[in-house]
Amino acid sequence: MESAIDNGYVFPRPVDTRLMRAAIRAAYEGVDAGHGGPFGAVAADGEGNILSVAHNEVLKSGDPTSHAEILAIRALGGYSLAHVVLYATGYPCPMCLSSLLWARVPVVYYCNDYTMAQEIGFDDVAFMRVLGEIYCCHPVFSPESRTDRLSIRHLPLPEGKALYAYWLSRPDRGMY
Ligand SMILES: [Zn+2]
């Protein structure tokens, strides 16, 4: 497997997209169980081994923070996850991006863009706008780029679009 160096850490480059497909499968399981929105996540180590798998459980738990990415890193039982690569079916929301930063996760791959989440009724873009207004106008905000802290990489797959279409086709889908 080809290697890639990202944020100073050497990761295998999963060109077979196996890990993203595992995250998509987890999202389908969550939708079918009525646990939450069509979102899954896989945490893997640098060798490409799966460490945890999770799907959105907001509706099941009644907890608005039960996003797939949060549950995937919580399952690892540590606060310093600099050895972890996260695969998320959707572009992580601001809460999840912050959690990944706090956890020191260096790289996240996402499949579906946030505009796609907006198209199926989720508020990611609206919340990004709110936070943009807060941070752009706040006196402590520095324009210094911190992108070296978290590399966000797009890994689009046709299965990602199909996942959201499946969600929209479910008459029993619960919004939050
Ligand atoms: Zn999130």
Nearest-angstrom CA–CA distance, 58 and 122: 13
Whether the pLDDT of residue 90 is over 60: the answer is: yes
Nearest-angstrom CA–CA distance, 22 and 56: 14
Nearest-angstrom CA–CA distance, 37 and 66: 10
**Options 2, 47, 57, 69, the catalytic residue:** 69
CA of 49 to the centre of ligand 1 (A): 23
CA of 127 to the centre of ligand 1 (A): 11
Please state, for a pLDDT cut of 90, what percent of the chain lies above it: 71
Note if 144 is an active site residue.
no
Q: According to the model, what pLDDT value does residue 147 have?
A: 61
Nearest-angstrom CA–CA distance, 71 and 25: 16
pTM: 0.88
What amino acid occupies position 64? P
CA of 158 to the centre of ligand 1 (A): 21
CA of 71 to the centre of ligand 1 (A): 10
Q: According to the model, what pLDDT value does residue 25 have?
A: 98
- Lowest mean pLDDT of 10-14, 76-80, 159-163, name the range: 10-14
Cβ neighbours of 104 (radius 10 Å): 16
Q: According to the model, what pLDDT value does residue 144 have?
A: 52
